[in-house]
């Protein structure tokens, strides 16, 4: 078991990478794929959206510039639970998480997305695969800085893989008192609904997996069927 930061991956190929961005990219992706859609797309940055048809997609993003060109809703797991797709393909592009997913895809043989919501399902899958696992708590991608909620989720997954699943709830509860989370909530009280969902444990059995990359750099993410 290895831990790393997605912006500082080793040159050698990784067997299995697990990207964790609790607030909010990997939680949002997990919620979206729990809604029985076949797949979603991940764009590392807004520049990767250029080839998409405005009428064919709904973009989940907190980046204001994206809304100028596409129908956009917030990168919010709470919103993702109920927003109507209206026949559009969900596309995720965020400040940190989608860049981390792209970085992992460039190095790893297989890439999965984890959150507190699907932690047991991810642990069960990894135990079945029996590969060499690298946990990638996202934090701030550009600053290469940790975020407490991502590290706590990674620690909970590490514990689950070592047979200690009983304290997963404890790890999630600690997120509420993490200084970074408290700071974000103070500046954006509306984030509380996302936190309530993101810090809930094992409500979803879906494990998102990155399965392909298009010529334009868009990643396809589907529920893992292993």
DSSP of 31-98? HHHTTT-S-EEE-SSGGGGTTS-TTTEEEE-S-GGGGGTS-EE-S-HHHHTT---TTPEEEE--SSHH
Rg of the chain's alpha carbons, rounded to an integer? 16
In this predicted structure, what is the pLDDT of residue 26? 98
Q: What is the pLDDT of residue 99?
A: 97
Distance from chain centroid for Cα 29: 6
Hunting for tokens 């909530």 — which residue is that?
A: 185
State the number of CA atoms in the 13 A half-sphere of 34 facing the CB.
22
Query: What's the CATH code, domain 2-223?
Result: 3.90.1560.10
- Note down pLDDT in tens along the chain; length 226 residues: 899 999 999 888 999 999 999 999 999 999 999 998 999 999 999 999 988 999 999 999 999 888 888 999 999 999 999 999 999 999 999 999 999 999 999 999 999 999 999 999 999 999 999 999 999 999 999 999 999 999 999 999 999 999 988 789 999 999 999 999 999 999 999 999 999 999 999 999 999 999 999 999 999 999 999 8
Tell how many helices (H) and how many strands (E) occur in the chain: 8, 10
Q: Do the beta carbons of residue 152 and residue 146 sit within 8 Å? A: no
Return d(Cα 184, Cα 222) in angstroms, integer.
30
pTM (2 decimals)? 0.97
pLDDT at 175: 98
pLDDT at site 37: 93
In this structure, what are the phi and psi dihedrals at residue 172, rounded to the nearest 5 degrees?
-65, -40
Measured between alpha carbons, how far is 198 from 68 in angstroms, rounded to an integer? 28
In this prediction, residue 65 carries a pLDDT of 84
Model pLDDT, residue 51: 81
Provide the β-strand partners of residue 91: 41, 59
Structure tokens belonging to residue 162: 């070592």
Q: What pLDDT score does 69 carry?
A: 83
The size of the chain, in residues, is 226
Farthest-apart Cα atoms in the chain, separation? 47
Q: Compute how many other C-beta atoms are within 10 angstroms of the C-beta atom of residue 37.
A: 13
């Amino acid at each position: 078991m290895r831990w790393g930061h997605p912006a500082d991956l080793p040159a050698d190929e990784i067997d299995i990478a697990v990207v964790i961005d609790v607030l909010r990219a990997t939680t949002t992706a997990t919620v979206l794929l729990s809604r029985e859609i076949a797949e979603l797309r991940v764009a590392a940055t807004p520049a990767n959206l250029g080839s998409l048809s405005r009428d064919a997609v709904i973009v989940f993003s907190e980046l204001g510039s994206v809304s100028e060109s596409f129908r956009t809703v917030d990168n919010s797991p709470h919103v993702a639970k109920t927003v109507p797709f209206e026949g559009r393909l969900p596309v995720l592009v965020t400040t940190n998480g989608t860049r981390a997913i792209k970085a992992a895809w460039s190095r790893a043989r297989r890439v999965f997305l984890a959150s507190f919501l699907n932690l047991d399902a991810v642990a069960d899958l990894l135990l079945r695969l029996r590969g060499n696992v690298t946990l990638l708590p996202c934090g701030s991608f550009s600053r290469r800085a940790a975020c407490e909620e991502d590290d706590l989720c990674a620690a909970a997954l590490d514990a689950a893989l070592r047979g200690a699943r009983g304290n997963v709830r404890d790890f999630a509860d600690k997120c509420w008192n993490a200084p970074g989370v408290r700071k974000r909530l103070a500046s954006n009280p509306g984030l509380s609904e996302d936190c309530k969902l993101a810090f809930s444990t094992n409500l979803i059995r879906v494990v998102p997996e990155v399965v392909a990359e298009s010529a334009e750099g868009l990643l396809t993410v589907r529920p893992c069927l292993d």
